[in-house]
Amino acid sequence: MNKIKNNTFLLEIDNITVKYSSITALKDLSLYIKKGEMLSVIGANGAGKTTLLKTIAGALKPVKGDIRFEGFSIKQLRPDKIVKHGIVMVPEGRKIFPDLTVKENLELGGYTIKDRVLKKELFELVLKTFPRLKDRLKQHGGTLSGGEQQMLAMGRALMGNPRLLLLDEPSMGLSPIFTREIFSLIELIRKEKSISIIIVEQNAHMALEHSQRTYVLENGQITMEGLSSELKNNPKVIDAYLGV
């Protein structure tokens, strides 16, 4: 990886363009996240939010621009190499292994961790953070409720000892009660482990409430950015995303 002198941000995306064949999904997009910060990205369906996360995680490659993590370019790295550097994604729809037990799902999340002591500490952290999972370790993942499956997916990600967590629509399909609980747990993870988090959400209320800064993504481009506390009072954001 090439070292870049500017190491101000944990992750910096510099003017990337991403395409699906001839279709441009992201165009000249730039953003950054600081260490320990929660950043939200809001936008309508098809705006490019999931594409953005997949590109950071290495599943898609930009045709233009650069992605730097702690000052190093990672845009050409394979997804497994990016995970080893501490960037872990929780995909939309959870994507747990329904036929494996909760414990087996968690163990798979720690496959990159070779230190047995660290792996045990991470496992204990997950059960402390998500106590519901502790009572369901022998239960198959597919038998859990939607909210519990989201907890399992997040717990599996924590087993990879991430420094940057990418969350794609964590509230999708969840009841309002479970949504509030999940966001509270996300905030707990950020504070207790000092993990930076990029959260992509259609529930703009929750995203703006729990993040420090927000980017608004429309048709593959950033149209607004700023402090979440200010954007949630912006008339354009209220009209387009908050429904009030």
**Alpha carbon distance 203, 214 (integer Å):** 13
Burial code of 4-41, b = ≥16 C-beta within 10 A, e = fewer? eeeeebbbbbbebebbeeeebbbbebebbbeeebbbbb
Tens-digit pLDDT profile for residues 199-212? 999 889 999 999 99
Q: What is the pLDDT of residues 18-69, one digit of tens each?
A: 999 899 999 999 999 999 999 999 999 889 999 999 999 999 999 999 999 9
Q: What is the mean pLDDT of the chain?
A: 91
Position 197 scores a pLDDT of 96
User: Is 220 in contact with 27 (CB distance < 8 Å)?
Assistant: yes
How many domains does the chain contain in total?
1
Q: Per-residue pLDDT for 93 more than 80?
A: no
**Residue 59 belongs to a domain:** no
Residue 24 within a domain:
no
Domain span at residue 142 reads: 37-48+86-242
Residue 7 has a pLDDT of 58
Strand partners, 73: 68
CA distance 31 to 12: 6
Tell me which of 4-8, 26-30, 45-49, 224-228 is least confident: 4-8
pTM: 0.90
Q: DSSP assignment of 129-167, as one string?
A: H-HHHHTTTTSBGGGS-HHHHHHHHHHHHHTT--SEEEE
Are the beta carbons of 57 and 91 closer than 8 angstroms? Answer: no
Which pLDDT does position 173 carry in this prediction? 83
CATH number of the domain residue 42 falls in:
3.40.50.300
Specify the pLDDT at position 4: 45
Q: Helices 176-193 and 146-158, interaxial angle, to 10°?
A: 10
Tokens read off for 205: 């209320």
Cβ 226 vs Cβ 214: under 8 Å: yes
In this predicted structure, what is the pLDDT of residue 244? 56
More confident residue, 4 or 159: 159
Q: Give the model confidence (pLDDT) of 125-153 as tens digits.
A: 899 889 999 999 999 999 999 889 988 99
Would 30 be classed as within a structural domain? no
pLDDT of residue 205: 92
Q: Decide if 135 is inside a domain.
A: yes
Report the C-alpha gap between 205 and 242 in whole angstroms: 6
Within a domain: residue 154? yes
**Does some domain include residue 64?**
no
The answer on pLDDT for 6 being more than 60 is no
Q: Do the domain assignments include residue 13?
A: no
Confidence of residue 172 (pLDDT cuts 50, 70, 90): confident
* Residue 113 pLDDT class (50, 70, 90 cuts): confident
Q: Is the dihedral of CA 71, 75, 76, 78 positive or negative?
A: positive
11: in domain: no
Arithmetic mean of pLDDT, 204-225: 95
Task: Tell me the mean pLDDT in the region 184-189.
Answer: 88
pLDDT over 70 percentage in the chain:
97
Q: 215 pLDDT exceeds 80?
A: yes
**Confidence check: pLDDT of 156 > 70:** yes
